[in-house]
């Protein structure tokens, strides 16, 4: 087919100036988060012991549909936004599908992923509130890199706990964080009580996001003028990521199309929320029938097989208790290469939306994700992040379904990052050294016993 237009961009003066807060439009609001110590509902005051006040306010804001993006944040967004909306003509041709496939290319951000969209406002709010130091955890290193850069921009010191298995698998991500001036520690470490406790019990612990969060939270709570920031799961992070879907909405309009299916890979839910919520608002408010599919790893299936219950966001139990789909905060995910998806729970908003049938979830085996990623790379010339490969695999499956039925559906997925730092994983796939991992019903049952 002749290429009409391959990529769509927004002029700088048409970039969104507000984020979309879906909590205002949800009929069933997300369940109440509870303070981990008192078990009372969290408040802006209790949350802001850990987070910036503004992030805490956004977290609990159930009424304002639109939230202004501060000017300095808008300015930083201009360093890489708008990101292109791309029509995947190459992939359509490879698949021989009548579907129209589009992807939003978040891999063009300075740090190579969508994570910067939330790192910038979180660092900015900390700076405005007189904070000098920030801490965080990182899995594959994408969030740590984004926070390291955003901290540099706004003149904050940053300390990052990186999940040990990723620290070893992806040494160059650590280097990038250090280039931006961040202090990086493999987790679990002996530098916190939480880390020591875990290492005493499990000396060979490979680390998990849950453990690294415990360490970063502990450091924030015990360091003066220090706040904790996070790259996923919480509602204010999803809010910041709606810049993706708001741009995509305008760009799809430029292309003269509207998506029938929107797909995002799923770690804690931030990029899925970001690309989906602006379109979902039309399902909620004006009866559109777009399908939204979260693509998660088969080895970490919180949405497809987890339990809806109150659980902690971290292994030690420092974070608020959140009503969410979870595999249990002690769940130790397999060492898959999509480090950003190795997390036991889902954010409270997406959990409620899934419960209410406003979205769907699909799980994908590791080998299938790399197969899809390579098919995409050959067709479009971009090597995708292992996390993004999950969304690509689901997009390809939907496009193949269209081939069977002859339907010309419009499919939009989010390309969260490039995989140029993940070539060790691609090497393993290419040499046939990659495994699939599954988890038994008994293990899920065991890990979630006692959680209600």
Ligand X SMILES: *Cc1c(COP(=O)(O)O)cnc(C)c1O
Chain positions 110 to 149 lying near ligand X, rule: CB under 6 A, are: 113, 115, 140, 142-143
Please enumerate in sequence order all residues whose Cβ is within 8 A of that of 194, keeping only pairs 6 or more positions apart, or say none. 188, 211, 214, 215, 218, 315, 316, 318
Minimum distance, C-beta of residue 177 to ligand X, in the bound complex (Å): 13
Output the CA angle 400-406-412, nearest 5 degrees.
Answer: 55
346 vs 402 by CB, closer to ligand X: 346
Q: Which stretch binds ligand X (CB under 6 A): 26-34, 184-192, 249-257, 260-268?
A: 260-268
Q: Which stretch binds ligand X (CB under 6 A): 57-65, 252-260, 266-274, 370-378?
A: 266-274
89 vs 143 by CB, closer to ligand X: 143
Minimum distance, C-beta of residue 421 to ligand X, in the bound complex (Å): 10
Q: Among 97, 86, 132, which residue's Cα sits nearest to residue 397? A: 97
In terms of phi and psi (left: phi > 0; alpha: psi -120 to 50; beta: otherwise), the region of 39 is left
The span from the CA of 439 to the CA of 449, in Å, is 16
36 vs 419 by CB, closer to ligand X: 419
Q: Decide if residue 373 touches ligand X (CB under 6 A).
A: no
The number of residues that bind ligand X (CB under 6 A) is: 22
Q: Decide if residue 242 touches ligand X (CB under 6 A).
A: no
What token pair was written down for 346?
A: 């889902």
Minimum distance, C-beta of residue 415 to ligand X, in the bound complex (Å): 9
Chain positions 161 to 200 lying near ligand X, rule: CB under 6 A, are: none
Q: Which stretch binds ligand X (CB under 6 A): 18-26, 85-93, 383-391, 400-408?
A: 383-391
Q: Decide if residue 385 touches ligand X (CB under 6 A).
A: yes
Give phi and psi for 323, each to the nearest 5: -80, 110
Q: Decide if residue 269 touches ligand X (CB under 6 A).
A: yes
Burial grade of 75 (CB within 10 A; 0-12, 13-18, 19 or more)? exposed
Q: Decide if residue 340 touches ligand X (CB under 6 A).
A: yes
Chain positions 212 to 241 lying near ligand X, rule: CB under 6 A, are: 231-232
Q: Decide if residue 354 touches ligand X (CB under 6 A).
A: no
Q: Decide if residue 271 touches ligand X (CB under 6 A).
A: yes
Q: Decide if residue 380 touches ligand X (CB under 6 A).
A: no
Q: Decide if residue 266 touches ligand X (CB under 6 A).
A: yes
Q: Decide if residue 206 touches ligand X (CB under 6 A).
A: no
Minimum distance, C-beta of residue 175 to ligand X, in the bound complex (Å): 17
Q: Which of 76, 91, 101, 341 binds ligand X (CB under 6 A)?
A: 341
148 vs 402 by CB, closer to ligand X: 148
In terms of phi and psi (left: phi > 0; alpha: psi -120 to 50; beta: otherwise), the region of 66 is beta
Dihedral of CA atoms 46, 48, 54, 57 in degrees, nearest 10, equals -10
Q: Decide if residue 74 touches ligand X (CB under 6 A).
A: no
233 vs 402 by CB, closer to ligand X: 233
371 vs 409 by CB, closer to ligand X: 371
Q: Which of 388, 393, 421, 425 binds ligand X (CB under 6 A)?
A: 388
The span from the CA of 16 to the CA of 449, in Å, is 44
Q: Among 166, 153, 143, 151, which residue's Cα sits nearest to residue 230? A: 143
The span from the CA of 275 to the CA of 117, in Å, is 12
The span from the CA of 347 to the CA of 358, in Å, is 15
Minimum distance, C-beta of residue 302 to ligand X, in the bound complex (Å): 11
Q: Confirm if 1 and 92 have CB atoms less than 8 A apart.
A: yes
The span from the CA of 316 to the CA of 273, in Å, is 26
Minimum distance, C-beta of residue 197 to ligand X, in the bound complex (Å): 26
Dihedral sign, Cα of residue 361, residue 366, residue 370, residue 371: negative
Q: Which of 198, 265, 324, 364 binds ligand X (CB under 6 A)?
A: 265
* Element holding 95 (H helix, E strand): helix 89-95
Output the CA angle 84-90-91, nearest 5 degrees.
Answer: 95
119 vs 402 by CB, closer to ligand X: 119
The count of other CB atoms within 10 Å of the CB of residue 84 is 19
Q: Which of 92, 137, 260, 387 binds ligand X (CB under 6 A)?
A: 387
Residues that bind ligand X (CB under 6 A): 113, 115, 140, 142-143, 231-232, 265-272, 340-341, 385, 387-388, 416-417
């Amino acid at each position: 087919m002749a290429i009409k237009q391959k990529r769509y961009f927004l002029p700088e003066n048409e970039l969104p100036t507000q984020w979309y807060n879906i909590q205002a439009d949800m009929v069933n609001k997300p369940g109440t988060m509870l303070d981990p110590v008192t078990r009372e509902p969290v408040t802006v005051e209790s949350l802001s012991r850990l987070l910036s006040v503004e992030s805490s306010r956004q977290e609990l804001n159930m009424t304002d549909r639109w939230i202004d993006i501060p000017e300095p944040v808008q300015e930083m967004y201009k360093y890489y936004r708008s990101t292109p909306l791309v029509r995947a003509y190459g992939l359509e041709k490879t698949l021989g599908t009548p579907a129209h496939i589009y992807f939003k290319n978040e891999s063009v951000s300075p740090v190579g992923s969508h994570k910067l969209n939330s790192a910038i406002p979180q660092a900015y709010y900390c700076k405005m509130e007189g904070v000098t130091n920030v801490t965080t955890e990182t899995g594959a290193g994408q969030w740590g890199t984004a926070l390291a850069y955003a901290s540099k921009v706004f003149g904050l010191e940053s300390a990052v706990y990186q999940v040990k298995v990723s620290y070893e698998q992806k040494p160059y991500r650590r280097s990038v964080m250090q280039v931006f001036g961040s202090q990086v520690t493999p987790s679990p470490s002996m530098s916190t009580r939480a880390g020591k406790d875990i290492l005493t019990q499990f000396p060979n612990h490979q680390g998990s996001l849950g453990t690294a969060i415990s360490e970063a939270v502990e450091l924030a709570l015990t360091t003066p003028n220090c706040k904790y920031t996070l790259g996923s799961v919480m509602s204010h992070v999803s809010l910041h990521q709606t810049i993706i879907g708001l741009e995509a909405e305008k760009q799809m309009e430029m292309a003269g199309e509207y998506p029938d299916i929107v797909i995002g890979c799923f770690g804690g839910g931030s990029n899925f929320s970001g690309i989906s919520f602006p379109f979902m608002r039309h399902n909620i408010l004006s009866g559109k029938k777009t399908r939204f599919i979260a693509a998660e790893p088969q080895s970490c299936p919180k949405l497809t097989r987890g339990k809806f219950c109150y659980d902690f966001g971290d292994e030690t139990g420092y974070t608020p208790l959140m009503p969410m789909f979870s595999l249990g905060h002690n769940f130790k995910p397999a060492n898959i290469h999509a480090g950003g998806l190795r997390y036991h729970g889902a954010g409270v908003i997406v959990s409620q939306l899934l419960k209410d049938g406003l979205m769907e979830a699909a799980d994908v085996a590791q080998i299938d994700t790399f197969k899809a990623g390579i098919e995409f790379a050959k067709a479009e010339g971009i090597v995708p992040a292992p996390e993004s490969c999950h969304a690509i695999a689901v997009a390809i499956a939907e496009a193949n379904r269209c081939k069977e039925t002859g339907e010309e559906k419009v499919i939009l997925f989010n390309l969260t990052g490039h995989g140029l730092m993940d070539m060790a994983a691609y090497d393993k796939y290419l040499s046939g050294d990659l495994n699939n991992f599954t988890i038994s019903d008994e293990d899920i049952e065991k890990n979630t016993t006692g959680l209600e």
